[in-house]
Amino acid sequence: MDQRADESCRDLLRSLLEDEDDASYLAYVHEKIETRDTIIFGAGPSLESDLDGIKDYISKKKPAVIAADGAAEALVEVGITADIVVSDLDSCPVETLIDSCNKGLVFVHGHGDNHQLVRAIVPQLACRKLGTTQVEPRQHIRNFGGFTDGDRACFIVAFFKPSRIVLAGMDFGDKEGRYSVNRYNVSDNPRRVLKLQWGKKSLEYLIQYARSIKFQNVTRHGMEVEGAGRISYEELI
């Protein structure tokens, strides 16, 4: 991690978001998450089968739906709009991010590798959006924790105190799902696979310390996540 580059992107994001209505946006997040069941979709290889298996649960039970980056596109394709999208802008199509701001809220993450995406995309997001960083926070740019979009989404949701977090599409294996790489179509980048390994460790750290929240894992395939018991679609429903 290049700390100076991260700090530079944090400051760029801060300048782009300085006029946003943080208070009302945070109130929206609290209303959607606090004391509620939540389901967080990663963009792993299990995403499509998980969506097919639990979309009726979402329709009937109305949990808060959170998408990590490109997972938001998969949700849209089956007629589901995420309440919250967590994105560093490298996978989710711009059109989906714009729609997600209009209908929900987007947490935009700035880091040393996405200056150009932040500069190009954030001004297009006209409605609800909040900024995050992985270095020291500044003013309204917050550091909730997390390493990848998937585990960062879990840290953000945990901060707002849900009763339960259900993981879906969170494989954390040695392969990425197609919704994780659709912007650049780089499916065999070893660095990205290493990030998934660190993302899993980060999530397991969160689970260990957020003991008031029940974590369950409905992801059909992929790695076991310590502290998040694996359940079937039927058990969830």
Question: Whole-prediction pTM value?
Answer: 0.95
Our count of domains for the chain comes to 1
| In the predicted structure, residue 187 carries a pLDDT above the cut 80 | no
pLDDT of 102 reads 95
A 10 A CB-CB count for 120 gives 12
The residue range of the domain holding 102 is 3-236
Least confident of 28-42, 69-83, 117-131, 190-204: 190-204
Residue the block writes with tokens 């109130």: 27
| In the predicted structure, residue 193 carries a pLDDT above the cut 80 | no
pLDDT of 190 reads 57
Average pLDDT for 183-210: 79
A 10 A CB-CB count for 157 gives 26
Q: How far apart are CA 19 and CA 22, in angstroms?
A: 9
Asked whether 5 and 110 are in contact (CB, 8 A), the reply is no
Mean pLDDT of the chain: 93
Spacing of C-alpha 189 from chain mean position: 20
Residue the block writes with tokens 């995403």: 47
| In the predicted structure, residue 109 carries a pLDDT above the cut 50 | yes
pLDDT band at 183 (very low <50, low <70, confident <90, very high): low
If residue 108 lies in a helix (H) or strand (E), which one and from where to where? strand 105-109
Q: Return the SS3 of 207.
A: helix
| In the predicted structure, residue 162 carries a pLDDT above the cut 70 | yes
Average pLDDT for 204-230: 97
The separation between the first and the last C-alpha atoms of the chain, rounded to the nearest angstrom, is 41
| In the predicted structure, residue 192 carries a pLDDT above the cut 80 | no
CATH of the domain at 26: 3.40.50
pLDDT of 82 reads 97
| In the predicted structure, residue 184 carries a pLDDT above the cut 60 | no
Q: What is the DSSP string of 10-32?
A: HHHHHHHHTTS-HHHHHHHHHHH
| In the predicted structure, residue 115 carries a pLDDT above the cut 70 | yes
Q: Which residues pair with 216 in a beta bridge?
A: 166, 229
| In the predicted structure, residue 186 carries a pLDDT above the cut 60 | no
Q: How far apart are CA 87 and CA 59, in angstroms?
A: 24
